[in-house]
Chain A
């Protein structure tokens, strides 16, 4: 029990825990008889941001915008093509597997599909115990105790530990995933579409659970989702991704009340509104997300942007500071 209580201090100082600099991931496309690389899918194409200790950074974007690839790269589950990842001020971009192993104690991931992210051949106890077995020197008895404690923490019963994943519903499985991720008291957790596969009512439960655990454990979240409402519910800051790039990143309030990037504006106006009387300016996007293997020149969004002008086809807009931590990558705001 003691280990949990010690962590209860919520970090308020603005210490950076994760810093990502110009991160890129290009997947090669092989073709032809000789299987040569004939092109690249630019899944993540130059993303820079940092995450402060104790905060929740939400990342939103359509499918194919590179959100998940980004998350997996930060945990080094995918090798970045270029760029830098700093975790607690250490460069982990090129660490070898065995050097990475002790660092993994502090960073965890919760995946989208609760049916694919748990090994179905292991019991709940084995699943939650595994990180403890690998990362700590706890005795068998201590581990069993910790498993019970964790299960209760995530709203399951201690007696559930002897069951197997197939005996649980999606929401319960996601709770097991959370217990497993939190077993070794990580500092930083990536939630990769962690509630997208769940029913709305269950989503709320799991989100609230995650918020509660954030307070209890002093966690920092990177919350990846395509669902703007979910991100709004849980995040402190929100980053909007489009075709492997960050279009805008700002404190939650600014993003939702004063979106600057035309893409963010379009996304927000696509949320169905329950208030019929409210005057709403709607922006409709035409067409589909362009192929990340052949992104448009200049600004990636220009093909669908209602405000695009000549410059957008030539120069790629960089993130610029608009005040109060609000960054936007759009030529409309150039001086």
Chain B
């Protein structure tokens, strides 16, 4: 098998002659995402919810915290589209303003979790050894804490629960999942040839992590961060529902549901609890569809297309 000498520099028939229409892997992922109908519906739904939440003052004249003892538990009317609650507050206004809390809690808790997860996960997966053992034991510890019991304890100890405090608490118990996912991707990435190649050209650790490893772990990171938003929104709703979340009078979807603890309201005042329930359901579903769409879009196996 003697090798013949070929002098032609490039004879590949697939060598594309077109120029300037090349797409980056991110653009390809976006294109795959846009082909996923459910995911696009999810995005549209989320955009509508976010826009409504921001433009709440334009959509209602009522103050969501304004009580009116003469107008309690009113059924829907032209004045109060969704009626009023047990303290005479307008349900429609509370639903709009309440979405702000749910979204703020969901996104900021995800953001905190993401920062902690990326930092600890990268350290753990990149350096391995002692650092890794230390961080992994810390995640084991936090994973062993029962979330609900911890949350309830803190909530009952603290007098005044603010959104910031609430976000901090749920972020502090939620980071291990993302940390482990990022560590896992890093452990496999660090052995890959392109990472060795980066090391061979003398790239710094920071450069290797941020320029080479994180972009290649972006799929699982983004997908899990998205799903994290849904989990956080449910956590807020759940805790507020049992009265251990954001306290009244601040409206949230969770503490609007809290009204339905009374069987009378559950039976006769559907307009008080169905709308926030549906809002939570729709938001979480939309986020999960987006997450699934992102997962498919970032699937490395379809990268070749």
List B162-216 residues whose CB lies under 8 Å from chain A.
Answer: 192-194, 196-204, 207, 211-212, 215-216
Closest chain B residue, CB of each to CB of A175: B10
A134-B201 CB under 8 A given contacts A119-B194, A162-B22? yes
SS of B interface (majority): loop
Q: Which residues of the partner chain B approach A271 to less than 8 Å between Cβ atoms?
A: 1
A205-B9 CB under 8 A given contacts A117-B193, A167-B22? yes
Is the CB–CB distance between A109 and B303 below 8 Å? no
A113-B193 CB under 8 A given contacts A155-B10, A229-B1? yes
SS of A interface (majority): helix
Max count, chain B CB within 10 A of own CB: residue among A107, A203, A204: A204
Is the CB–CB distance between B1 and A164 below 8 Å? no
Is the CB–CB distance between A121 and B14 below 8 Å? no
CA distance A207 to B26 in the complex (A): 33
Q: Which residues of the partner chain B approach A255 to less than 8 Å between Cβ atoms?
A: none
Q: Which residues of the partner chain A approach B129 to less than 8 Å between Cβ atoms?
A: none
Is the CB–CB distance between A109 and B197 below 8 Å? yes
- The contact size tier of chain A is 35 or more
List A134-188 residues whose CB lies under 8 Å from chain B.
Answer: 134-135, 155-156, 159, 162-164, 166-167, 169, 171-172, 177, 180, 184
CA distance A159 to B197 in the complex (A): 24
Interface flag for B6 (CB, 8 Å): yes
A-B contact count (CB 8 A): 122
Interface flag for A72 (CB, 8 Å): yes
Interface flag for A46 (CB, 8 Å): no
List B207-232 residues whose CB lies under 8 Å from chain A.
Answer: 207, 211-212, 215-216, 218
Interface flag for A220 (CB, 8 Å): no
Is the CB–CB distance between B201 and A169 below 8 Å? no
CA distance A167 to B11 in the complex (A): 16
CA distance A122 to B303 in the complex (A): 14
Q: Which residues of the partner chain A approach B202 to less than 8 Å between Cβ atoms?
A: 100-102, 104-105, 131, 134-135
A207-B25 CB under 8 A given contacts A72-B196, A119-B216, A130-B203? no
Write the nearest CB–CB distance from A215 to chain B, whole angstroms. 14
List A89-130 residues whose CB lies under 8 Å from chain B.
Answer: 100-102, 104-105, 107-109, 111-113, 116-123, 130
The 8 closest A-B pairs by CB, nearest first: A155-B9, A104-B202, A117-B193, A121-B215, A131-B201, A101-B202, A163-B22, A111-B193
* Contact sample, A vs B, 26 pairs, CB 8 Å cutoff: A72-B196, A77-B199, A100-B202, A108-B200, A113-B193, A118-B194, A118-B197, A119-B212, A119-B216, A131-B202, A135-B201, A159-B20, A162-B20, A164-B22, A164-B25, A166-B28, A167-B16, A167-B22, A169-B12, A171-B12, A180-B197, A205-B6, A205-B10, A205-B11, A208-B7, A229-B2
A residues with CB within 8 A of B: 72, 75, 77, 100-102, 104-105, 107-109, 111-113, 116-123, 130-131, 134-135, 155-156, 159, 162-164, 166-167, 169, 171-172, 177, 180, 184, 200-205, 207-209, 229-230, 233, 271-272, 274
